[in-house]
Every structure is written in C-alpha cells, then in structure tokens.
C-alpha cells in the first residue's frame, strides 16, 4: 500500500485513503468506460475486413487507410496491395500500429489511462493502491519518450487521410460530387490535423526547444499557433475518437447497405 500516512516519516496519522467528499471517482470511471468502448469498437472493426469501402463515391474508412492487403478492393488501394490476406492482419496493418502508439504515448492519454486504468493516482489527493512507484523511469514506460517518432508517423498518415478525403469528392457518375460522407470525411480529417498538430511534441519541435524566440520569428509564430491548439489537446483527443468512430460507422453502414448516402451535389 501507499505510504500516505507513513508514521515513520512523521506524517499526520489520518487513516482514510482520502477525505474528499466530491465524486472524485466519476471522471476516471467515465474515462475508463469511454476508452474501453472505443478500443472494443476499433478492434472489432479493424479485424472485420469488410464494409470499409464505398466504390461509387470513393469513400474509404480511416480504419482501413491505406488499404494494403491483397484482399483489399483494387480501387481502394492507393499505394498498392502487398500484405498477405490473413484474418488476423488488418487491411491497414502498416499504419494502425503507429496510430495506436501515437495515442498510447500521447501526453493527454497518458494522464487519462494512468488515472483511470492504473489508478496512479485515481484522482488528485486520493491514495493509489500500489506498493511501489517508479513512473516513467524504466522499461517499458521509459518508451513513452518515443512519442515524437509516432508524431512524425501520424503526420504522414494524416496526409494519407487528407488524400482520402479529397478523393471522396466524387459523384455517382464518376465526376465531382459531394455527399454527407464527403462532409464527414473532411470534418474528420480537419479534426485529425488539429489533434496531431496540437501535440506536445509538435509544440516542442516548432520552437519549444529553442530559447531565443526573437531569432526565429516564423517559428515563433507557428509555436504560438500550436500553443493555442495545444490548450485544446484533451478536447481534440476525445473529439477525434468520436469522429473516427462516426466516420467509420457511417461508411460501414453505406457499404453494408443499411442506408444510402445523403447526396448534396451529384
């Protein structure tokens, strides 16, 4: 157990784990439920290997982008098909691990799951249940320092998502067209860029690591913009989980024929 009331250290002897009277357990509980539900949905969809593509309007769900499995529909495979068609291998197995690691090592998500999944701590001034604590000083949590590499990968993947959204401006006759699916894909990719660029690593790379702002006016301007976005990193982290699931669900529903796309232009 923790040593919050460690008598040998001369601390005040208060046996209660916490004296907080508010519902401190609610935020970690909601976070736990939200993240668990999302991971369950994403896992099912990533391994479903079906209902990911609407050829008529060139809609490809972000969970399958880029589609690189030999089983991918040829029209959906922008960068070629080279991964073997195995049931345990998602069609976008080249990118999904990087996206997962980008979010897993994200400074916001770290706070979220350290609190809600590992109770370290469950809430501020609430004693954690662990006997020892070494934080991010050793393997495997030392690996959290690789966040910026996954940030670089996430930028590249956001470019792919942007191309997907651009190609979704297609009408039924093969020409220009806009449907609700296009709007959803574009909204999703704009928010994905906002989340990616609001990353703390991005903030450090733009200028945070430099001490003389006055010598780098352009980078200083970009740092200021990233800093503004960074203040919304938590909100963007949750919003993009929502838009990713929504985008995927909408395209799954279209591909499965549950309903048809609402067309705005062509």
Partner 1 sequence: MSAYNAHFRVWRGDSEKGDLVDYQVEVNEGEVVLDIIHRLQQTQAGDMAVRWNCKAGKCGSCSAEINGRPRLLCMTRMNTFAEDEVVTVTPMRTFPVIRDLVTDVEFNYQKAREIPSFAPPVGVEPGEYRMQQVDVERSQEFRKCIECYLCQNTCHVVRDHEENKPEFAGPRFLMRIAELDMHPLDAADRQKAAQEEHGLGYCNITKCCTEVCPEHIKITDNALIPLKERVVDRKYDPLVWLGSKIFKRGEKTDA
Among 3-11, 153-161, 165-173, 251-259, the segment contacting partner 1 (CB under 8 A): 3-11
Please give the C-alpha separations between residue 146 and each of 104, 199, 235, in angstroms, as whole numbers.
11, 13, 23
**Residue closer to partner 1, measured from CB, 54 or 154:** 154
CB 261 within 8 A of CB 181: yes
139 is a site residue for partner 1 (CB under 8 A): no
Choosing from 41, 101, 187, 200, the residue that interacts with partner 1 (CB under 8 A) is 200
Q: Take residue 100 and report the two structure tokens written for it.
A: 């997962």
Cα Rg of the chain (Å, integer): 22
**Residue closer to partner 1, measured from CB, 77 or 237:** 237
**Residue closer to partner 1, measured from CB, 3 or 36:** 3
CB 14 within 8 A of CB 121: no
**Residue closer to partner 1, measured from CB, 41 or 238:** 238
132 is a site residue for partner 1 (CB under 8 A): yes
Among 5-13, 65-73, 77-85, 167-175, the segment contacting partner 1 (CB under 8 A): 5-13
**Residue closer to partner 1, measured from CB, 120 or 239:** 120
Rounded CA-CA distance 79/3 in Å is: 55
Q: Take residue 12 and report the two structure tokens written for it.
A: 């005040």
DSSP code for 69: B
| Sites for partner 1 among residues 101-120 (CB under 8 A) | 107, 110-111, 114-115, 120
Distance of CA 46 to the CA centre of its chain: 14
Rounded CA-CA distance 202/187 in Å is: 21
**Residue closer to partner 1, measured from CB, 212 or 259:** 212
Residues making up the chain, counted from first to last? 266
Give CA torsion, residues 73, 74, 80, 82, to 10 deg: 60
Q: Take residue 240 and report the two structure tokens written for it.
A: 């993009």
Choosing from 203, 243, 250, 251, the residue that interacts with partner 1 (CB under 8 A) is 203
Per-residue binder mask for partner 1 (CB under 8 A), 205-234, x = binder = ---xxxxxxxxx---x---------xx---
SS3 labels along 239-257: HHHHHHHHHHHHHHHHHHC
204 is a site residue for partner 1 (CB under 8 A): yes
Where on the chain is the footprint of partner 1 (CB under 8 A)? 2-6, 8-14, 18-22, 107, 110-111, 114-115, 120-121, 124-128, 130, 132-138, 141-142, 145-148, 200-201, 203-204, 208-216, 220, 230-231
């Amino acid at each position: 157990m923790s040593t919050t009331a460690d008598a040998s250290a001369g601390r005040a002897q208060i046996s209660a784990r916490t004296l907080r009277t508010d519902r401190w357990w609610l935020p970690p509980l909601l976070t736990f439920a939200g993240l668990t539900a999302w991971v369950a949905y994403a896992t099912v969809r990533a391994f479903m290997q079906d209902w990911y593509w609407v050829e008529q309007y060139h809609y490809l769900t972000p969970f399958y982008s880029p589609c690189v499995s030999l089983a991918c529909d040829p029209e959906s495979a922008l960068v070629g098909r080279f991964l073997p068609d195995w049931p345990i291998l998602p069609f976008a197995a080249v990118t999904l691990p990087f996206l997962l690691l980008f979010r897993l090592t994200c400074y916001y998500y770290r706070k979220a799951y350290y609190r809600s999944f590992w109770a370290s701590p469950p809430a501020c001034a609430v004693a954690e249940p662990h006997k020892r604590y070494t934080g991010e000083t050793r393997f495997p949590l030392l690996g959290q320092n690789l966040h910026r590499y996954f940030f670089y990968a996430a930028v590249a993947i956001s470019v792919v998502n942007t191309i997907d959204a651009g190609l979704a401006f297609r009408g039924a006759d093969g020409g220009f067209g806009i449907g609700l699916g296009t709007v959803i894909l574009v909204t999703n990719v704009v928010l994905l860029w906002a989340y990616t660029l609001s990353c703390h690593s991005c903030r450090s790379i733009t200028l945070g690591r430099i001490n003389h702002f006055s010598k780098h006016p352009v980078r200083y301007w970009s740092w200021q913009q990233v800093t503004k976005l960074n203040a919304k990193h938590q909100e963007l982290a949750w919003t993009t989980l929502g838009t990713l699931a929504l985008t995927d669900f909408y395209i799954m529903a279209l591909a499965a024929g549950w309903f048809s796309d609402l067309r705005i232009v062509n």
